[in-house]
Amino acid sequence: MARIKAEFIRLKFIMVAVFFLCAKTYILYKMGFRIQSENVLQEILLIINPLSSTVFLIGISLLFSGKIRNIMVIVTSLLATCTLYFNLLYFRFFSDFLTWPVLFQTSNAQDLQGSITELTKFSDFLLLLDIVILTFLVLKNKIPVHLKGKREPVILLAVTGLLFFINISIAQLERPQLLTRAFDREMLVKNIGIMNYHVYDAFIQSQSKAQRVFAESSDIDGVLRYRNENYKEPDPDMLGIAEGKNVIVLSLESLQSFVINETLNGEEITPFLNSLIEESYYFDNFYHQTAQGKTSDSEFLVANSLFGRDSGSVFFTHAGNEFNSLPEMLNESGYYTSVMHANNKSFWNRDMMYLSFGYNTFFDINSYDVNEENSIGWGLKDEDFFEQSIDLLKSQSQPYYTKFITLTNHFPFELGEEDKLIDEFDSNSGTLNRYFPTVRYMDHALEVFFDRLKEEGMYDDSIFILYGDHYGISEYHHRAMSKFLGKEELTPFDHVQLQKVPMIVHIPGHRNEINHTVSGQIDIKPTIMHLLGMDTKEDIQFGSDLFSLERQSFVVLRDRSFVTDDLVYTKGSCYLKKDGTEIELEKCDPYFEKVNLDLDFSDKVLYGDLLRFY
Ligand code: GP9
Ligand code: MN
């Protein structure tokens, strides 16, 4: 008994630090990450799940003696706090937790600086409170110094292991197969804690790296068989309809469908797009399928008809892969291919990935005149971007395939007064409020662009593909969003519906048609290829032509949610598409196989770099 007591006194400082860190993590779960629990067991898990990793991390100080030991307690607490804080910043932007691949995307960090000030809050300093107290105690010599104990490291490991075992056992009760099935990151954090989640993520990432090494050429056979079974014949009336025309693809930053044909204070939010839709093929059940790689994921989906990664950005992790990308195929058919985007070429590792995609030219920030007057937020304003792009377009040989990536409608949605064509919204989310004027501005910039193309006689020979790259308003702003939509609260069903982005195929002189097929960005590549009269039978694709009469009305999102004509599945629940009523999960059963095959085969191609065998 006396020995236990003595040991207790020896470890008092460490235990206080552990308590502080656990309490801080729990408070952040609730207030920062807004994690909600549905029952008592889940709440208990939230309270205890930081324990094992905290004991382990701060316990590292036991490997040291004397003063250093006390200092190490502070250092490890600080390290953990930084990890929590980076997650918090990331969460405020993406409503998601950090992953290892995202951390290594450092070249994006400098461009995020503008957003960082928007994401930090003064009260964030409170996160350092425990560190300040611990440091004060050490500096004032209030903490006795101890020598290193021989058995302490072993005991530390045993205690950590035991705590983790208790944690995982309860988690297993709450979520069977938590670690073996692919649940989302929030669920992992909820169950095993944020630090353990990072360890788990590291394990998963290294596993995916290993897949390339062990891939064999015969692995492609199963993929090919699956692809052939799912091939859809093009609509003969649409096949080759735009053969030899220039293709202008417009990737519209953060544009979601909920603003289309909508008004704010009686004013249209997207008057130009609304009128363009009147003379275009418009797909009103079209979803983005991106994950953490945002714009780059959408580019990947469009260029390859393959899925991006469920974490990190494929642009960073697999730029060295062999692809059968659309630009490369178009080059072979005599097209000149390019991207126009007034940002640093290395953002999202584009310069590297575009080489793999086979683009002839990337007109990056160096091709534009960017100065203080014509910039806002992330850089060159859309209107100036389009205006300056006209000459670049002219410099290309025809036919060309050129993708434009807009920038002004990007979080934090900043805009100069002179460009505000409609008022901000009025809610508790500044982000959502500012979104409307920047969307309206982008819409205006597009109108100017189309007018200029007509003026220059460049319009008639082109076809236009316009789509939203990903959501602009994250889950974090749901309360404000529900106010705009006039709903009491937003359910996971509503969240999936908010992942709809506009998709417009505009062929000058063609009739207007609204197409309700449920679809996504993965379907763009085969659609363009068929419009240009190209054969897709031999190409490994996971999407299908939007115009095909045989196509299945279906989309799977990267988090394994899916949508059909009648159903929406997300986060373990099945809903009726028409009104969002939750129904028995069994109703969604028939589709899980397709969801898994689509995603798993596509991942297999990516991780195994299988196209190098094809
Ligand atoms: C940056 C632009 C924005 O070049 O594409 O990227 P996002 O943050 O939307 O992925
Ligand atoms: Mn984007």
Say yes or no: 156 and 224 in one domain. Answer: no
Render 279-318 in DSSP notation, one character per residue.
Answer: TSEEETTEE----TTHHHHHHHHHHHSS---SSS-HHHHS
The single-letter code of the amino acid at 302 is V
Say yes or no: 189 and 225 in one domain. Answer: no
Mean local confidence (pLDDT), 86-112: 79
pLDDT tens figures, 183-219 = 567 888 999 999 999 998 898 788 778 889 999 999 9
d(CA 466, CA 279): 13
Most confidently modeled range among 16-25, 64-73, 84-93, 202-211: 16-25
Closest CA to 340 of 287, 376, 394, 294: 394
pLDDT tens figures, 268-285 = 999 999 999 999 999 999
Query: Which ligand ends up closest to the CA of 293?
Result: 1
Catalytic residue numbers, as ranges: 295
Measured in angstroms, how far is the CA atom of residue 411 from the centroid of ligand 2? Answer: 9
Quick one: CA dihedral 598, 603, 606, 609, positive or negative? negative
Q: What is the dihedral of CA 391, 392, 394, 400, to 10 degrees?
A: -160
pLDDT tens figures, 441-463 = 999 999 999 999 999 999 999 99
Say yes or no: 107 and 244 in one domain. Answer: no
Domain boundary among 185, 211, 237: 211
Which ligand 1 atom sits nearest the alpha carbon of residue 469?
9
**Ligand 1 neighbourhood includes 343 CB (under 6 angstroms):** yes
Which ligand 1 atom sits nearest the alpha carbon of residue 350?
4
Percentage above 70 pLDDT, the chain: 97
Measured in angstroms, how far is the CA atom of residue 321 from the centroid of ligand 2? Answer: 23
Q: Left if phi > 0, otherwise alpha if psi is -120 to 50, otherwise beta: which for 580?
A: left
Say yes or no: 51 and 16 in one domain. Answer: yes
Say yes or no: 18 and 93 in one domain. Answer: yes
Please check whether residue 101 is in contact with residue 309, taking contact to mean a CB–CB distance below 8 angstroms: yes
Cβ < 5 A residues, ion ligand 2: 253, 294-295, 469
Q: Whose CA is nearest to atom 6 of ligand 1?
A: 295
**Ligand 1 neighbourhood includes 295 CB (under 6 angstroms):** yes
Which ligand 1 atom sits nearest the alpha carbon of residue 470?
9
Say yes or no: 196 and 308 in one domain. Answer: no
Which ligand 1 atom sits nearest the alpha carbon of residue 296?
10
The single-letter code of the amino acid at 449 is F
Place of tokens 């359910």: 491
Given a cut of 90, whether residue 302 has pLDDT beyond it is yes
Query: Which ligand ends up closest to the CA of 467?
Result: 2
Percentage above 90 pLDDT, the chain: 81
**Ligand 1 neighbourhood includes 294 CB (under 6 angstroms):** yes
Domain boundary among 195, 211, 227: 211
Residue 73: half-sphere exposure toward Cβ, Cα within 13 Å: 29
Given a cut of 60, whether residue 80 has pLDDT beyond it is yes
Strand segments (E) across 378-427: 379-380, 400-405
d(CA 10, CA 149): 10
Which ligand 1 atom sits nearest the alpha carbon of residue 295?
10
Say yes or no: 373 and 310 in one domain. Answer: yes
Stated pTM of the model? 0.83
Say yes or no: 558 and 508 in one domain. Answer: yes
Q: What's the confidence (pLDDT) of residue 107?
A: 60
> For the chain, how many structural domains are there in total?
2
Q: Whose CA is nearest to atom 3 of ligand 1?
A: 295
pLDDT confidence band for 106 (50 / 70 / 90): low
Q: What's the confidence (pLDDT) of residue 109?
A: 62
Say yes or no: 149 and 234 in one domain. Answer: no
Residue 341, token pair as written in the block: 């985007």
Which residues sit opposite 564 in a β-bridge? 554
- Ligand 1, residues 294, 341, 406: which to mutate, most atoms within 8 A of Cβ? 294
d(CA 440, CA 262): 11
Which ligand 1 atom sits nearest the alpha carbon of residue 253?
9
Please check whether residue 459 is in contact with residue 508, taking contact to mean a CB–CB distance below 8 angstroms: yes
Place of tokens 């490369």: 328
Measured in angstroms, how far is the CA atom of residue 114 from the centroid of ligand 1? Answer: 13
pLDDT tens figures, 388-425 = 999 999 999 999 999 999 999 999 999 999 999 999 99
Q: Left if phi > 0, otherwise alpha if psi is -120 to 50, otherwise beta: which for 338?
A: beta
For residue 124, give its domain range. Answer: 2-211
Measured in angstroms, how far is the CA atom of residue 339 from the centroid of ligand 2? Answer: 15
Say yes or no: 233 and 314 in one domain. Answer: yes
Measured in angstroms, how far is the CA atom of residue 309 from the centroid of ligand 2? Answer: 16
Mean of all residue pLDDT scores within the chain:
93
**Ligand 1 neighbourhood includes 360 CB (under 6 angstroms):** no
pLDDT tens figures, 369-379 = 999 999 999 99
Tell me the three state secondary structure of residue 568. strand
User: Phi then psi for 150, rounded to 5 degrees?
Assistant: -65, -45
Render 494-549 in DSSP notation, one character per residue.
Answer: HHHHTTB--EEEE-TTPPPEEE---EEGGGHHHHHHHHTT---TTS--SS--TT-T
Domain boundary among 160, 192, 211: 211
Given a cut of 90, whether residue 81 has pLDDT beyond it is yes
pLDDT confidence band for 177 (50 / 70 / 90): low
- Ligand 1, residues 343, 413, 521: which to mutate, most atoms within 8 A of Cβ? 343
Measured in angstroms, how far is the CA atom of residue 79 from the centroid of ligand 2? Answer: 31
Given a cut of 90, whether residue 234 has pLDDT beyond it is yes
d(CA 550, CA 564): 15
- Ligand 1, residues 253, 309, 375: which to mutate, most atoms within 8 A of Cβ? 253
pLDDT tens figures, 114-163 = 677 888 999 999 999 999 999 999 999 888 888 888 888 899 999 999 99
Measured in angstroms, how far is the CA atom of residue 154 from the centroid of ligand 1? Answer: 47
Measured in angstroms, how far is the CA atom of residue 297 from the centroid of ligand 2? Answer: 9
Q: What's the confidence (pLDDT) of residue 114?
A: 64
**Ligand 1 neighbourhood includes 530 CB (under 6 angstroms):** no
- Ligand 1, residues 410, 414, 473, 501: which to mutate, most atoms within 8 A of Cβ? 410
**From residue 513, how far is each of 120, 451, 501, 506 by CA, in Å?**
45, 22, 17, 10
Residue with the bigger pLDDT between 84 and 37: it is: 84
d(CA 222, CA 413): 45
Mean local confidence (pLDDT), 280-306: 97
**Ligand 1 neighbourhood includes 175 CB (under 6 angstroms):** no
Say yes or no: 242 and 276 in one domain. Answer: yes
Measured in angstroms, how far is the CA atom of residue 239 from the centroid of ligand 2? Answer: 30
Please check whether residue 439 is in contact with residue 269, taking contact to mean a CB–CB distance below 8 angstroms: yes
pLDDT confidence band for 311 (50 / 70 / 90): confident
pLDDT confidence band for 573 (50 / 70 / 90): very high
Which ligand 1 atom sits nearest the alpha carbon of residue 405?
5
Which residues sit opposite 459 in a β-bridge? none
Tell me the three state secondary structure of residue 582. strand
Measured in angstroms, how far is the CA atom of residue 368 from the centroid of ligand 1? Answer: 17
Given a cut of 50, whether residue 182 has pLDDT beyond it is no
Closest CA to 408 of 432, 431, 440, 433: 440
Query: Which ligand ends up closest to the CA of 114?
Result: 1
**Ligand 1 neighbourhood includes 405 CB (under 6 angstroms):** yes
Q: Whose CA is nearest to atom 7 of ligand 1?
A: 295
The single-letter code of the amino acid at 54 is T
**Ligand 1 neighbourhood includes 290 CB (under 6 angstroms):** no
Which residues touch 481 (CB under 8 Å, ≥6 apart)? 429, 432, 473, 490, 498
Say yes or no: 319 and 407 in one domain. Answer: yes
Give the burial class of 537: count Cβ atoms within 10 A of its Cβ; 0-12 exposed, 13-18 middle, 19 or more buried: exposed
**Ligand 1 neighbourhood includes 288 CB (under 6 angstroms):** no
Please check whether residue 411 is in contact with residue 443, taking contact to mean a CB–CB distance below 8 angstroms: no
- Ligand 1, residues 378, 435, 442: which to mutate, most atoms within 8 A of Cβ? 378
CATH number at residue 478: 3.40.720.10
